Amino acid sequence: MRLRKSNLVLASLPLYHSFGYICIEATDTLNGLSTVYTSMKPKPREVLQAIAEEKVTTLHGTPTTFYDILRSPDFGKTDISSLENGTIGATTLHPAAIAEIIANLNLRDFMTGYGLTETSGACSFGDGKDFRGYELFDETYARILKENGSVAGPGEKGEIQLKGPTVFKEYLNDREKTTAVLDGEGWFRTGDLGTMNEDRKLIVSGRVSDLIIKGGVNISPAEIEPVLMEHPSILEAHVVGVGDDRLGEEVCAWIKLRADKGCSEEHVRDFAAKKLSRIKVPKYVIVTDEFPKTSLGKISKMKLREAFELMRKKD
């Protein structure tokens, strides 16, 4: 997707986030494209009105941005026919959701982007209208590492690792955290799960790391699990992120109850809501007798995510 000087960009993303700053400020605005700024946290109505009134041609956003626009009561009542193209990123993407966005907004071009704050924003891109994987930016390299530490071949799943000039140098004043994700050769462990196809394009399928990214907010399961285990009926709790069309990921809690104790899903959520901020309260609560484990005897959160997706498909 190539933008022209005649394009008018809508800046509705927070500029303190790498997506908003790099994609809009450092790329579009500083290269001479006219930019319309919304308030810091615009409602869908404000976004739609800005597009209509200013004849915006280009919209960058997260899946949440586009999801909220399409489901706004004002959508269909506002003339947004000026829109020509856009970019979506910041999380794993569902093909059906991409197709819905393109069709309903009647976009001529739609680019997908993959990257992290540690890679200075997007480090790869894909064609949303004919997505076949993410193509890496020049001088950026990727490899897929399997659980046994070997480099995966085409189509084999593992953790995505990246290397290149946009990869960060270090976490400020935190050598331990830095060395946990960045090796001596400059390879960065993204915590994302994926594969690489024969054309050397990335397919992102989920997250290896425990961190949940919900609507752009980072949530650590370690903040939620101890709270759930304060409940007198809960013996053990493990929290994972699962796919969500609007927010990218939602919070899912797997719990094991104490013997002779009962507890409803709604009761668990009510209990959590009294102790956690609203965004961290599990949307899904699943009761189980056993948790899947790795060969080392650790709880496999990857398998918990996979089990949830199987349950969802059956429903």
pLDDT single digits (tens) 131-152: 889 999 999 999 999 978 899 9
Q: How many CA atoms lie within 13 A of 225 on its CB side?
A: 16
**Range(s) within the chain of domains with CATH label 3.40.50.980:** 8-130
Has residue 253 got a pLDDT over 80?
Answer: yes
Long-range contacts, stretch 175-178, CB < 8 angstroms, 24+ apart: none
Q: pTM of the predicted model, to two decimals?
A: 0.71
Q: How many CB atoms lie within 10 A of CB 146?
A: 13
**What kind of fold does domain 212-314 have according to CATH?**
GMP Synthetase; Chain A, domain 3 (3.30.300)
Query: Average pLDDT, stretch 255-269?
Result: 90
pLDDT value at residue 255? 96
**Which amino acid is it at 223?**
E
pLDDT value at residue 92? 63
**Helix ranges restricted to H, 43-130:** 44-54, 63-70, 95-105
Q: How many CA atoms lie within 13 A of 77 on its CB side?
A: 7
Tens digit of each residue's pLDDT (9 = 90 or more) over 47-57: 999 999 999 99
- Does domain 8-130 fall into CATH 3.40.605.10? no
Has residue 261 got a pLDDT over 50?
Answer: yes
Please state which CATH class domain 135-206 belongs to: mainly beta
Has residue 184 got a pLDDT over 80?
Answer: yes
Has residue 296 got a pLDDT over 50?
Answer: no
pLDDT value at residue 64? 77
**Range(s) within the chain of domains with CATH label 2.30.38.10:** 135-206
Mean pLDDT over all residues of the chain? 90
Query: Average pLDDT, stretch 156-160?
Result: 92
**Range(s) within the chain of domains with CATH label 3.30.300.30:** 212-314
pLDDT value at residue 1? 66
Q: Which two tokens stand for residue 20?
A: 């908003």
Tens digit of each residue's pLDDT (9 = 90 or more) over 19-38: 888 878 778 778 888 999 99
